[in-house]
């Protein structure tokens, strides 16, 4: 199944450029162009990422070394 973005929001961060929702799951786009898709997430992770004070801290607190990701092309 192709990964299709439902929502994609630009964010102010030293690490990220965008936070989005694709096929009902969170994806994040890093400043270096890498896009990580988190299939074990849902829209609540997207909502939390948007309200988190630091988007980079959100990635470390909720995603990094906690949930598996899949590298994808930026949807």
Domain extent, residue 51, equals: 5-72
pLDDT class of 50 with cuts at 50, 70, 90: very high
pLDDT score of 2 more than 80: no
Mean pLDDT of 7-22: 95
Q: What is the pLDDT of residue 61?
A: 94
pLDDT class of 1 with cuts at 50, 70, 90: low
Spatial separation of the C-alpha atoms in residues 48 and 46, rounded to whole Å: 5
Instruction: Give the SS3 label for residue 42.
Output: coil
pLDDT score of 49 more than 90: yes
Mean pLDDT of 19-45: 96
Q: Please give the model's pTM, rounded to 2 decimal places.
A: 0.91
């Amino acid at each position: 199944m192709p990964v299709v973005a439902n929502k994609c929001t630009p964010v102010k961060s030293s690490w990220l450029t965008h936070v989005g929702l694709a096929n009902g799951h969170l994806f994040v786009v890093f400043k270096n162009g890498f896009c990580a898709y988190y299939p074990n997430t849902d829209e609540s992770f997207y909502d939390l990422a948007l309200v988190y004070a630091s988007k980079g801290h959100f990635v470390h607190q909720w995603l990094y070394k906690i949930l598996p990701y899949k590298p994808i092309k930026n949807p």
